[in-house]
Amino acid sequence: MTYQETTNWLFNQLPVYQLQGASAYKEDLTNTLLLVAHLNHPEKDLKCIHVAGTNGKGSTSHLLASVLQEAGYTVGLYTSPHLKDFRERIKINGKEISEEYVCEFVAKNKSFFEANALSFFEMTVGLAFEYFAKEKTDINIIEVGMGGRLDSTNIITPLVSVITNIGLDHTQFLGTTLKSIATEKAGIIKENTPVVIGEYTPETKEVFLTKATQTNSDIYFASDLIEDTYPSDLLGDYQIQNKKTVQQTIEVIRNQNEFKISEENCKNGFLKVIKNTGLQGRWQQLQEHPKVICDTAHNTHGLKIVLNQIKKEEFAALHIVLGVVNDKDLNEILPLFPKKANYYFCKPAIPRGLDAEILQQKAKEFQLNGKVYNSVSNAYQEALKNASKNDFIYIGGSTFVVAEVL
């Protein structure tokens, strides 16, 4: 199969949460354990940092990778979802896995995948672990897909576990309270393995402390321990907490005396995240006059910070290109959006995309008014056409809306 045929097979044949949502979620690690046994346990050859959390996992993972690359290490990076190309999920020192490797891996293991009805995410985790082991990476940053306890990545024993924050997202799988979600995320905390917590509330702190005591793990609350952070090329206001989390994690890694990371490495790593890792879609400016910003924030916790940052901008008029997925709680997120803005409603081009007419009708209930467009691209082009050079255009609501614009 060609690369296109291979990725089509990966996406179409088996459940993909990114595309389908709830039907693709598996509450079990049995398949992942079967797969790594079939692959001769590549995960046992890997040194890892494991990153979970509701928001900021991607930025935190890329920041960590950038710092470690600056320190001269060969760094594997596994993240999800991808924006444009499947290969963005699996990188070494910012370079995506080759199309050939993806094709060979699927061809070699296809009958095993089919016989065991593996999910898209399970196969992708297996691919990443085998690739990093074969390429003999020095260290790997492994981002949790969803939750933690039952996530396919949770078969590793990391050098340090990282939990960025807890917010209400994926509640149909992880629970409807911060405490229940924190319990799922805390599932990545392993015996005698330090854990860094980015942000916490009194109820989530209690969950983390209990789990750390049970596993005899040292626990570090980054927001209490780190005051100043280095400047970075990641400009969103929400990066302040991510940067603190990364600095504390680097401190823990340093104390293990296995990796040498200087202050200079940290400074340079923070400044060169985009160059070193290729991260996109985090308060990313696409043009000036009118200023256009896209951002992948898609839940209450993330959107609050991003929409607050928009308030600090100076502009004549605000244009918002907005699309969401169909499992989003609109009663939670729509009240966060400003009433004084021109809205361009659209549907991301995936099966999970919410119909733009439904979004428009629901938005009207919150006095958010605008027109419906038949694609993200048309909505964006119309916003560009209508905006004067002193206006501001924001594109968001979903990772998939941002992906289509990029």
SS3 sequence, 306-370? Answer: HHHHHHCCCCCCEEEEECCECCCCHHHHHHHCCCCCEEEECCCCCCCECCHHHHHHHHHCCCCCE
Q: How confident is the model at residue 146, as a pLDDT?
A: 80
Model pTM above 0.95: no
Task: Let me know: does 123 contact 10? Beta carbons within 8 Å.
Answer: yes
Other Cβ atoms less than 10 A from the Cβ of 30: the count is: 10
**Average pLDDT per block of 10 residues along the chain, 406 residues long:** 94 57 58 96 98 94 98 97 94 98 98 91 96 98 89 96 81 68 93 97 94 98 93 94 97 96 98 97 96 94 94 97 93 96 96 95 98 98 98 96 95
**Amino acid, res. 275:** K
Q: How far apart are CA 183 and CA 165, in angstroms?
A: 12
Say which residue the tokens 């909505």 belong to.
Answer: 379
Q: List Cβ neighbours of 323 (8 Å cut-off, separation of 6 or more).
A: 345, 346, 347, 348, 353, 354, 356, 359, 376, 379, 397, 398, 400, 401
Cβ-based burial of 264 (10 A; exposed 0-12, middle 13-18, buried ≥19): exposed
Q: How confident is the model at residue 28, as a pLDDT?
A: 72
**Amino acid, res. 94:** G
Q: How far apart are CA 149 and CA 131, in angstroms?
A: 24
Q: How confident is the model at residue 358, as a pLDDT?
A: 97
Q: How confident is the model at residue 351, as a pLDDT?
A: 86
Task: Let me know: does 178 contact 166? Beta carbons within 8 Å.
Answer: yes
Q: How confident is the model at residue 167, as a pLDDT?
A: 80
